[in-house]
Amino acid sequence: MKVLLVTGLLLLLCSAHVLTLQCNTCASETDEECKTLVECQPSELYCKTVTDGDQIYRSCETFCDTDDFTTCCQTDGC
């Protein structure tokens, strides 16, 4: 009975762990590579990259729509 209780408790703890996305972001305005990896909030499901000429903007986003200048992905470090 104790083994079943311990197993159930471990399963509950493991299922409560939320995996969050990690995205590359820009550390500052002078960060041209924008390769600073940050952990997104649990509600942020997308990594967004916007290119504007020579400028790159990267961020964690809750929603993301792609267009000619914007790409979205859902994998760590993209």
Beta bridge pairs of residue 47: 60, 73
Query: What fold, for 20-73?
Result: CD59 (2.10.60)
Burial-class residue 76 by CB neighbours within 10 Å (0-12, 13-18, 19+).
middle
Averaged pLDDT for residues 12-22:
64
Determine the pLDDT at residue 11.
55
More confident residue, 35 or 13: 35
Residue located via tokens 């916007």? 50
Kindly tell me if the per-residue pLDDT of 6 is higher than 50.
Answer: yes
Element (H, E) at 57: strand 55-61
Q: What is the pTM of this model?
A: 0.70
